[in-house]
Amino acid sequence: MKVLNLVVGILLAASPAFGIGLEELQDKALEKREILKRYIVNLEKSEKDSVLARAGYYPSVDVSYQMNKIDDKSPSLELGGGGGSLDSGFGGSVDSSFSATDSSIFYSAVTWNLFNGFKDRYSIESAELLTEVEELQLDGLTQDIQLNVALQYLNVYERRANLEVARKNYETLQKIYQDGKNRLDVGLIDRNELLKFKVDLDDTLIQVEAAKGGLEKSVILLGRVVGEDLRLALLDFEEFENIPGGKDLEGNMALMLARRSELQVFDKLIEASMYQRQADQSGYYPKVDLVGSYSYFDDDLIGGRGNVGSEELRAQLVLSMNLYRGGATQARVAKARLETQGLHYDMKERKDTLKTELQNLHIDYSVSLRNIEVALVSIEQAEENLRITRLKYNEGLQRESDLLDAVANLSRAQYNYVAVLQNVFSNHFKILRMVEAF
């Protein structure tokens, strides 16, 4: 426990007293990410499809105004062998070889479908289910964004921890190198031994600089998934102070099968495809429409200005049924049936894949938990080995290579602990995503 407290203290060094945690970062991402807004637009579009499907329950009102101008050209008709005139039929005579006829028609109708093989009903059911599908996909995207933020947040934590380990290693080698210079001055070691310390010291400095660059890039990547610029000093990493406990595979499996939005999407899509098939089957049934219309005819382009006008009110009950459409109805019904069958296959395949992924995540998580204790013991042993080696080296009982090996072993043990800790939390976050528990 002392070693654990020491390591955690090192990894959490320089954390701000009050900073931004994982939950706040996830909230920022859900608020600012444009891809989430795009899915919200898709949801709103789907809601409009439901409105369109319901339109079949309401009457349709149509109005039209038609203006006609007819030029009827015909040969002149001579009566009695002489050039005479032709009665126009409107009380006058026309000397030219053609007559012009103007007319206009105003028409309005109210059409109400009374029966259409239940197509409207099933279309509405299908559209509402597809709206629910969009909502579920939005939920799934929300979980994915939260997982991405958590993993990138963990990546920043890991890079910072590795930087701390590299710095500690550099400080240790710097002390050894300074001690070596002092020993060189009094003739206890030769210059060749000091150069070995210097080579390892320079190599560690390169590792420190590389770790700094990796940390800076990880913060930038975290800002990208969150949707705003972030600074390392604002992150508190308090989520990593306590290691998560064990996981119940059976319980998580049940939660995943019940909660996972992808599986619920397949359920809705299957149900919607069944309703769509029933809507397509409406082509086999007759269609009944009630139509009320009003029309007004006038012999002028502008209604009401002519000499002859007539109007008509008409009520119609129209029964129609398609007898043959080139097999289109049968093909649509068969296509919808195949779509339902295909969705069942897709759902089974996805469910099996998710089960396998969850089982593997639990295996990796359990292994990582066990490795934490091993990594901590390894650090404790490496520290003790370094202490003893330094004492023996000071007494001239160990070579400089043995001392450098002891320093490298401690550094490797600390890096291993960081890697194991990263695996624990990475699998932990992925399991939370699998059961949609963010």
Q: How far is CA 233 from CA 12, 143, 224, in A?
A: 12, 26, 17
In this predicted model, what pLDDT tens digit does every residue of 261-302 receive, in sequence order?
999 999 999 998 998 888 888 888 888 888 999 998 887 778
In this predicted model, what pLDDT tens digit does every residue of 380-395 receive, in sequence order?
999 999 899 888 877 7
Mean of per-residue pLDDT scores for the chain: 83
Q: Is pTM beyond 0.85 here?
A: no
In this predicted model, what pLDDT tens digit does every residue of 64-100 receive, in sequence order?
988 888 776 655 444 444 444 434 333 443 344 444 4
H-type alpha helices, 12-118: 22-32, 34-54
Bridge partners of residue 61, in order along the sequence: 110
Tokens of 328: 């289109």
Give the rounded percent of residues in the chain with a pLDDT score beyond 90: 33
Bridge partners of residue 106, in order along the sequence: 65, 296
pLDDT score of 363 more than 60: yes
Report the run of H or E that residue 287 belongs to, with start and end. strand 287-298
Calculate mean pLDDT across residues 12-25.
67
